[in-house]
Amino acid sequence: MPVKPTLIAPSILSADFTNLRASIELAEKAGADWIHCDVMDGAFVPNITFGPFIVQAIAKCTSSMVIDTHLMIADPDRFIEDFIKAGSHQITVHQEACPHLHRTVQFIKSLGAKAGVSINPATPLSVLESILPDLDLVLLMSVNPGFGGQKFIPSSVGKIARLDAMRKELNPGLVIAVDGGVTEENAAELSAAGADALIAGTAFFKAADPAAAARKIKGLA
């Protein structure tokens, strides 16, 4: 059992888009810490979702949750400012999509948002070594990005633990978030390995009782 509750970030991807406000209020009432906005461009990942306009609508529906924007897009620098103006408090880009990652991270921070970097399951942690001291968060993908509802890739647990060891040396304040296939069943193991925040799409929005699911994922039940 973790000492402090794990943060939960419901992924809006699995919400009812015919009633976005109700979905966001559901997350808020369930005690969600962040709301995770999955932005996909049909180029970096094989799916298309939404842009700053929808993030702005989401941000208008909550005052308590952190707007956590996950950019699964090629050349994200083009749109970072738009997503921050739309209300994102944290912007996560993919290492695989950023040839000048240090510049991109500094750009996010210069606009007043927290900066995160995500890596795909096949990308080694070693690519983060030089940038780690500059980051607010790392989003470890535990599925291949592009779709909600996929199965958790088991080798991600060891990756969380290795990143936890890396941050002790390079950036103790770093937040480790895990994204993809998080469930009520695996949440405790992920927290114990070092995850501070768990992204949950299906496990939250498709649960019979989302508030109960959130408590379990946070390690409170």
Catalytically active residues, by annotation = 38, 179
* First-residue to last-residue Cα distance in the chain: 10
Ordered strands of the 34-40 beta sheet = 7-10, 197-200, 175-179, 137-141, 114-119, 90-94, 66-72, 34-40
| Binding mask of the shown chain, residues 128 to 167, with x at each position contacting ligand DX5 by CB under 6 A | ---------------x-xxxxxx-----------------
Q: In terms of CB distance, is 48 or 221 closer to ligand DX5?
A: 48
Tell whether residue 136 is a contact of Zn ion (CB under 5 A). no
In the range 67-86, which residues lie near Zn ion by CB under 5 A? 70
Tell whether residue 179 is a contact of Zn ion (CB under 5 A). yes
Tell whether residue 38 is a contact of Zn ion (CB under 5 A). yes
Nearest to 197 by CA among 221, 171, 218, 172: 218
Out of 6, 7, 11, 167, the residue judged to bind ligand DX5 by CB under 6 A: 11
Q: Is 103 helix (H, G, I), strand (E, B) or coil?
A: helix
Tell whether residue 13 is a contact of ligand DX5 (CB under 6 A). yes
Q: Is 24 helix (H, G, I), strand (E, B) or coil?
A: helix
Strands 137-141 and 7-10, by their bridges, are: unpaired
Residue 184 CB, nearest approach to ligand DX5 (Å):
11
Binding site for Zn ion (CB under 5 A): 38, 70, 179
